[in-house]
Every structure is written in structure tokens, then in C-alpha cells.
Chain A
Amino acid sequence: MEPGVDIDRDGAVAVVTIRDPARRNALSAPIRAGLIEAFTTLMRGDDDCRAILLTGAGGSFCSGGDISTMEGMGSFSGRARLQAGHALVRLMVRGEKPIVAAVEGYAFGAGFSLALLCDHVVAARDARFGAAFGKLGLMPDMGLLWTLPQRVGIGKARRLMMLSEPLTAEEAAGLGIVGTLAEPGAVAAAAMAKARAFADAAPLPNGITKAALAAWPLPLDQMLDHEAQGQGVLFGTEDLQEGLKAFYEKRAPRFAGR
């Protein structure tokens, strides 16, 4: 079976699986193209999808960039490769649906970056994370310079990126990188439970929240403008009326995304 990216549906959750287990799901050009296609479809074209679960096949999340194609690469082909990756970064960060990463095995290099582009990371206790770029003579990419300091603060981000220090999942949880720890073998179920929670949450406010956080960091008044503009739009939605009804009737709301 050719390596590729699969999309499976489980109710309102779309499961996106990187499938190249022979190479521990390295982010090769075909895998990257498959992810761009999958996230484009799910973020923009699929009204029934409320949350996305990103995972890797065969017990590993993603081992990083495709080292086999780095040999002899010129500067400008390297730049083009990065720019292709940035289309994926923008889709994941600016896309208005929540993304949960389910991490087993390795999330190294660009695979680490990929996990941190998700809104929530679920990881097996024995999973391993690392910004391994420096070991190849490279700097962090795929948005890691933006995502990692936001999660862990600048002191720890510098240590992790400049020393390429690997982390266990438990250490990553302590630092605010991993949101949910699961026992080995139970990651898929834990991540699906989390993805369902995101899928059940009000989709319109979460979409606007994601869009505002994609502009991070902004000065206070610009963020307050996001809050006022976004909240104004939400005051006109059916979902607010449903949310208020459910609140007064003491039942769980059913949000239609309108």
C-alpha cells in the first residue's frame, strides 16, 4: 500500500491518519500534500465535521522531515519546501475547527511542530517529543518558533530548541505541551473522547476564538476589539438562543452551528 493520508469519520469527528509506518510517518512531500488536501476539505468544505483528530499509523505520530530528500538540497529548493509546509501550518492554525493530536511513539522535529499546531495534544505516557532540528544542523520550522514559546515560556523554549532536548510525554505534560496523558494503547480512545468534547462544544465561538488566537500576540486593545466584534456576531446566532434555553432548562445544549 502506497504511503498516504487517510480520512475516516466517526460522527462529527474526522480522523486524519498519516500512513507511512515504514518511515515512522515522516513528513515527506506526498504526506504533506495529503495533509494539505485533508485539512482543506475538512476546514472549508465539510459542515458535518466539528473536530479533527490527527494521528499517525503504526504506533508513531510523525518522526519529522523526510531526511532522505535533504541530501544535496539547494537553498531555494529548501525554501520552496518550507513554503509548501507553511500552507499546512496556516490551514491548521487559521482553520476554524478544533484539532486534537493523538501521539504515540515519536513526535520529533517537524512531527513535534505538527503536534503543537493542534489545539490539544493527547499522548501516551511512553511517547517521546523533541525539537531535533539542531542535530541535523537545522533550525526549528513548521511554526515551532511561534507555538512552543506560547506553551512553555521563553526559557524552556530556548532550552528545548537550542539543545534539541528530548522530552517524555510526562515531562511534556508538566510543561504545558501535552494536555492529556493516556496509558500506552489507550491513546486512540482518549483522543477520540477529547475530540468528541470539542465537537460537542459550541462551534461558532470556538471558531472565532481560534481565529483570534491565530493572530497571537496582539496588543490588548486589538484583542479587546476581537472580543467585541466576535461577540457581537455571536449575539445574532441561533446557537446563543439554544445555549440560553438549555441553560435555563438545565440540559445540555445542542448547537447547530448557525
Chain B
Amino acid sequence: MSDDMVLVERRDAVTILTINNPKQRNALAGPVKAALIPAMRAALADEVCRAIVLTGAQGCFSAGGDVSRFAEMPPEQGRQLVRDQREFLHLVMRGDKAVIAAVEGYAYGAGFGLAMACDHIVAARDAKFCAAFNKIGLMPDGGLLWTLPQRVGAERAREMMMLATVTDGAEGQRIGLVDTLAEPGAALEAALAKAAQFAAAAPLAVAMTKSAFARWPVTLDQFLAMEADGQALLLATEDCREGARAFLEKRAPAFRGR
């Protein structure tokens, strides 16, 4: 096992980023966060990579923040700790490639936030999600105030955030928290299958659609402007012509991202 805090592996057009801090159940300690940012940047810049899978080593997604540092932390540092999440959240949510979370074990606190920032969430039936923050007197962060109500609706989001209730993978799928359910131990495999689907989709169209979701909420007229600008750009791409040809020839399109 490598000492690297984040392991990077590419399989065909899919890059797997594995949080590798198993002694702390993949808690998002400083060195983990420091390694995630360049790894995600590199995957986004890699022309062969079309989709990214985010997961945790040894059967656990991420137990959340590094609680061991919290007792001594003055408020201004606590604020900065949360502000420092933004760079990675932006890469996940505003980057141009689909990010798929593969969740086994725990996705707690900021680890839950990280999973919810992804475009598609694959979870083992017995995986556990919890906005555990207020058990120690903190509020949700990691973008959960933005992502969770969008996914599960206001009622369930309030209960999960205000009572720190635990949701397993199976229940998560029922309420829209989880998109693809896997048997225990098989989340990564299922995530790779799903990532291959995202990787085969037209990459520029995926990027434009993702960019529109990242700007939510906007008014109708703002969405219509995004559609007009984005579609105008896409209509002029080789991929759009390839898509039309493949449609007429009744074959799968081969998109090249230009």
C-alpha cells in the first residue's frame, strides 16, 4: 500500500481517485485535501480522461473532517478550514467532467458533503450517510446546505441535517440520495460501469450541462440565455456532426470532444 494520501489510477477513459487515509477512515485531514486538489486538477486536464470516480480506500468513503484538530481551533481558523473546502468543491462541481462517487462504509460529515457534490452517487446497500456535524455542535458544510435539499427535498434534508440521522444506501436510493445501488463490496465496480457510460457521452455537452447545474438557481431568462449560448457553441462542434451522422446511420457515436 502506497503512502500517498490520494491514489490515482486510470482505466481507459476513467480516472479513479482513491482517498487513502484508512487509519483515520479516510478523514479529510490536511494532507488528504492537499493531495486531492492537484489530483483532481490533473484528471480534469487529462485529455484521455472523460469521467472521474471518487472513492475511499479499504471499504470506507470518508469519515469527514479531522475532528482531532477541532478542540484547539479558534473561530477564524474554523472559518478558514471551511473556506478551504471551496477549491476542491469547485473542481468537482464546476469542472467539465462527470464525477461519480463510489461509496462503501461511511460518508459522514464533510465526507458526506464530498459524495453529494458528485454528479452520480453509487453506494453499497449497507453504506452509511450522515450529516454528523451537530452531534459535536457544528453545522453542515462541504456544500451540503446547497446539495442535500436539491437531492432529497427540504423535509428530508432538514431532518438529516438537524437531527444527524443516519441513512443507509438502500434507503438513500429510495429518497434520491443514491443513484445506483450496489451489493456490499461492489460499489467501485458499479461506479466504473456507470463512469464508462458517462465517458461515452458527448463530453462537451456534458460539460455545458454540468456548468448550467452548477449555476442553479437562476431565473428562467438566465437559463434560456445559457441554453442559447451553450447550444450555439455545441452546434458548431465536430461532435454534433458526428452525433447526427451516427443517428442517421443507426450506430453508436464516437465523440472526440471537439
Contacts and interface: CB of A to CB of B under 8 A. Distances in A.
Interface residues of B, number: 50
B143 A220 contact: yes
B136 A247 contact: yes
Interface stretch (B1-9, B97-105, B149-157, B248-256): B149-157
A236 B70 contact: no
Interface-central residue, A231, A234, A246, by most chain B CB under 10 Å: A231
Interface string A199-234: 001101110111011001111110110111111111
Nearest to A197: B163
A232 B71 contact: no
Interface in B139-163: 139-146, 149, 152-159, 161-163
A120 B158 contact: yes
B136 A253 contact: yes
B54 interface: no
A176 interface: yes
B61 interface: no
Contacts of B10: none
Contacts of B71: 240-241, 244
B175 interface: yes
Interface stretch (B20-28, B182-190, B213-221): B213-221
A224 B143 contact: yes
A206 B160 CA distance: 11
A240 to B, nearest CB: 4
B137 A228 contact: no
B152 A176 contact: yes
Contacts of B47: none
B78 interface: yes
A52 B85 CA distance: 34
A237 interface: yes
Interface in B34-89: 67, 70-71, 73-83, 85-86, 89
Given A229-B79, A234-B78, A213 B136 contact: no
B158 A213 contact: yes
Given A120-B155, A176-B155, A244-B136, A223 B79 contact: no
A232 B133 CA distance: 13
Contact of B163 (A198, A204, A208, A255): A198
B11 interface: no
A153 interface: yes
A179 B77 contact: no
Contacts of A151: 153-155
A143 to B, nearest CB: 12
A242 interface: yes
A109 interface: no
A177 B158 CA distance: 12
A219 B76 CA distance: 24
Contact of B156 (A176, A201, A205, A220): A176
Contacts of B142: 227
Given A227-B139, A231-B82, A205 B134 contact: yes
B77 to A, nearest CB: 7
B79 A220 contact: no
The 3 closest A-B pairs by CB, nearest first: A232-B79, A235-B78, A243-B136
Interface of A: 98, 119-121, 147, 150-153, 176-179, 197-198, 201-202, 204-206, 208-210, 212-213, 216-221, 223-224, 226-237, 239-244, 246-247, 253, 255
Given A205-B133, A209-B140, A220-B143, 10 more contacts: A153-B153, A177-B155, A204-B137, A205-B139, A224-B85, A227-B144, A228-B79, A231-B141, A234-B139, A240-B71
Interface of B: 67, 70-71, 73-83, 85-86, 89, 93, 133-146, 149, 152-159, 161-164, 175, 214-217
16 contacts: A176-B153, A205-B138, A213-B154, A217-B217, A218-B217, A220-B216, A221-B86, A223-B146, A224-B89, A227-B82, A227-B140, A228-B80, A232-B75, A235-B70, A240-B138, A253-B136
